[in-house]
Amino acid sequence: MKIPNINRFKIIDLLKEGKRLDGRKPFDFRDIEIETGISVNAEGTARVKIGKTEVIVGVKMGTQEPYPDHEDEGTMVTGMEFSPMAGDRYENGPPQMDSIEVARVVDRGIRESKYIDWKKLCIKEGEKVWSIMIDIYCINDDGNVMDASAIGAVTALKMSRFPKYDEETGKVLYGEFTDKPLPLTEHIPFTMTFHKIGNKLLLDPNRDEEDSSDGRLTLAISQASKKDKMINSMQKGGITSITCEEMDEIIKEAEKCYDKIFPEIEKKIKRLSK
Amino acid sequence: MTEREFREDMEEKTEMNENNYSEESYDTKKERKLVVPGEVIIEGEDYLPGDFTRKEGNQVISNRYGLVETNGRVVKIIPISGVFEPRRGNNVIGRVEDITFSGWMMDIGGPYSAFLPLMECPRFINRNNIDEFAGIGDIMAVKIAGVKKGGIDLTLKFRGLGVLEDGRLIKINPHKVPRVIGKEGSMINLIKDSTKTEINVGQNGYIWIKGDLAGETKAEETINLIVKESTSSGLTEKIENFLKGGKE
Amino acid sequence: MTSYPKRIDKRKFDELRPIKAEVGIIPNADGSALFAFGETVAIAAVYGPKPLHPAHMQNPERGIVRCNYNMLPFSVTERAKPGPNRRSKEISMVAGNALASVIDLERFPGTVIDVEIMILQANASTRCAGINAAAMALAQAGVVMKELVSSVSIGKIDDKIVADVTKAEEDWEEGEGATDIAFTMTSVTKEITHLQLDGKIQTHRFMEAVDAAKAACEKIHQYQIRALKGEKINENEK
């Protein structure tokens, strides 16, 4: 059943007082669980749960010719799909707008934060580079699939190991892996999507809250140790506009949230990838 | 059938439907066996196959995942999962999905779409003001007047039906509704009194709660606890404790 | 002189790989389950019976089962392009039929039961793992069904009949090579609701494969029952 009006009104009314139906504060995240080992055939995988929302992410690698304006850099493509099993609102078919946007936003957060050292993915300048293919699947949607997907993607990348590569034939030996991790920097981007519900902001909406949301702003923040926090990407979605005061509030809350939540996530990811 | 006969027939069916499932489903002191489709429940010439079972030779075999219930010679399955299965006389809560010139298309869950015709409203509603009475996204307590192949016919012409305003709507597994209501409403009344809320339980698993924030939240948590612990013994005491302020 | 005296992974000829089975893994679904044969891992989720749109697709006499089988791009060593292809469409069809055969579809005419099968990790026998997961998911979803179905791949590797074929066995080329036969059987009436064969097997040997399938399906059925009764089975854990 789609969300009833009375539930929407309740969510909006409560938020005016800084309250949420599940007792969280406006900028609290639900419990985040991170695992790996979904497919031994992938170069790297991750499984992320935020509350009951669950996404599975996998990394596959291949080789290709570099792009003309980046002759010594590897490439990356990100795809995302809501599996029809994620909820009864999802029918099968080509990726819908929602999923294309999730893929592109996650992609940009990773790309612009320079999380991946693209030059170290070069095999032969101008001729051959490594290409990274990230595939994100949501298998249960209880809101905030965007942020779950982003955590999944950075984790899967951290877990990834290069497949064996035969220099002579120039072929990738799929199914055979090395111990070599991807060339990642310490700038792990953390993606947070703020939602505007009736003129109030919140983070990590569950499904009902997301259905009550009028607009959202996703930002990815990374921080090299002790330096400034950097905003690497932003995307506004939905129809409602964001006031400049709200913009200021978002950035302040994003910094707070990064400090509060991200260290734990970073620890989990690093522990998994040992 | 005259209008009056229809309503009397419906009232009767409604009382029967108050308990879509037998009294015994409230009795948790019995250890009930969980069976899967195709499982042999019991063997013996005397046994008769009840709901969701079949008899092959001497064996009564399950046609559904659920709990075994024996009443004398009749062996049946009490479903514990699955979508809402609509029956004439059911009181349900639905959401208005669309409005046509002749009524409201409603989502009441389950396998079929449902329609509430303008004519089934207890008072006159102008065709041009249909959405003032109930608009898309509004919820109503309705009764199922008939179940046809094409869909379900709804009516508002009974006590206690109509648009539900304010409060919140929650969803539980429809098969747990009898547990939430309790014998002769004992459980639901306990919750209402203790949390000072109005509660309307739809047999389709949708439940409307209205009170102050703390009361509504407590009522919702209590209902979720009942659903979680529905097969445990001593449930009434657990719930009484929880309502008094104890932990789960 | 056989070229396949022992199985590559040292299993007995009738031995299944370590099984993983669990129900209720997708909270939003009406029913869901995971089933794995060793490294082949499948999850399935069921929604329905529910209204089927558009109306012209409805069957006024019975409900339909709409099954979709999908492999994750990273479930295999060489990335599989996302989206349906001819192979996945075919598997969706045969799996859907295999499951529909035991369901009481006349109970809710005009409706649809959506079955989604997803392969997380693949080492052959993916459709079998998927059907096993889907059968559990349907039962957990309260769908009215006479019995469960169980699915297994039977191989003839050179001259040996084996149960639960791996990719390495599928690729066997010595002697008579490899023949892969996917069976799905009903749990009580032991009828075949799905059957696909690739390779070559002597006509007089086929019933051996059927017997092997029967025995293997009985074992698988026990795992399905245990998982439905609440057990989280994971034979991979040591």
Decide if B32 contacts B78 (C-beta within 8 A).
yes
pLDDT attached to residue B18: 47
pLDDT attached to residue C164: 97
Does residue B168 belong to the interface with chain A, where contact is any CB pair within 8 Å? yes
Average pLDDT, whole number, for chain A?
Answer: 93
Does residue A172 belong to the interface with chain B, where contact is any CB pair within 8 Å? no
The answer to whether residues B157 and B137 belong to one domain is: yes
Residues spanned by the domain of B52: 23-79
Rounded to the nearest 10 degrees, the angle between the axes of helix A97-112 and helix A145-159 is: 50
Residue B53 belongs to a domain: yes
- Domain boundary residue, one of B131, B164, B197: B164
Average pLDDT over residues B131-140: 94
Instruction: Give me the torsion for CA of C134, C135, C141, C143, rounded to 10°.
Output: 130
Nearest residue, CB atoms, A5 vs list B107, B138, B206: B138
Structural domains in chain C plus CATH codes: 19-232 (3.30.230.70)
The answer to whether residues B46 and B100 belong to one domain is: no
Q: pLDDT tens digits for A154-182?
A: 999 999 999 999 989 989 999 999 999 99
Instruction: Give me the torsion for CA of C18, C24, C28, C31, rounded to 10°.
Output: 90
Q: Report the percent of chain B where pLDDT is more than 90.
A: 70
Strand order in the sheet with B198-201: B168-171, B206-210, B198-201
Q: pLDDT tens digits for C77-118?
A: 999 999 999 999 999 999 999 999 999 999 999 999 999 999
Which residues of chain C does B81 touch, with a Cβ-Cβ cutoff of 8 Å? 30-31, 140-142
Q: pLDDT tens digits for B117-130?
A: 999 998 888 878 88
- Cβ within 8 Å, pair A2-B107: yes
- CA-CA distance, C53 to A20, in Å (whole number)? 35
- Cβ within 8 Å, pair B165-A2: no
What ranges make up the beta strands (E) of chain A? 32-35, 44-50, 53-64, 75-82, 122-124, 128-140, 161-166, 171-181, 190-197, 200-203, 215-223, 229-238
The answer to whether residues B155 and B197 belong to one domain is: no
Residue B86 belongs to a domain: no
Structural domains in chain A plus CATH codes: 15-272 (3.30.230.70)
- CA-CA distance, C54 to C35, in Å (whole number)? 32
- Cβ within 8 Å, pair A41-C121: yes
ipTM: 0.93
* Ranges B224-238, C50-64, C122-136, most confident: C122-136
Decide if A152 contacts A36 (C-beta within 8 A).
no
What ranges make up the beta strands (E) of chain B? 34-35, 40-43, 48-49, 53-56, 59-62, 66-71, 74-79, 91-100, 103-107, 114-117, 139-147, 152-155, 162-164, 168-171, 198-201, 206-210
Residue B141 belongs to a domain: yes
- Cβ within 8 Å, pair A4-B137: yes
Question: What is the number of structural domains in chain B?
Answer: 3
CATH number at residue B108: 2.40.50.140
The answer to whether residues B172 and B240 belong to one domain is: yes
The answer to whether residues B190 and B230 belong to one domain is: yes
pLDDT attached to residue B57: 94
Torsion sign over Cα C228, C231, C232, C234: negative
Average pLDDT, whole number, for chain B?
Answer: 88
Find, in chain B, the residue whose alpha carbon is nearest to that of C141: B82
- Token pair, residue C194, equals 């799905």
Residue B10 belongs to a domain: no
The answer to whether residues B232 and B172 belong to one domain is: yes
Which residues of chain B does C142 touch, with a Cβ-Cβ cutoff of 8 Å? 64-66, 79-83, 175
CATH number at residue B60: 2.40.50.100
In angstroms, what separates the C-alpha of C211 from chain A's closest C-alpha? 32
Residues 21-40 of A with CB under 8 A from B: 21, 23
Residues whose CB falls within 8 Å of the CB of residue A20, separated by 6 or more in sequence, listed in order: A11, A14, A26, A202, A209
Q: Report the percent of chain C where pLDDT is more than 70.
A: 100
Q: pLDDT tens digits for B153-165?
A: 999 999 999 999 9
- The DSSP element (H or E) to which C120 belongs, if any, is strand C111-121
pLDDT attached to residue B16: 47
Find, in chain C, the residue whose alpha carbon is nearest to that of B34: C229
Average pLDDT over residues A200-222: 95
- CA-CA distance, C18 to B4, in Å (whole number)? 65
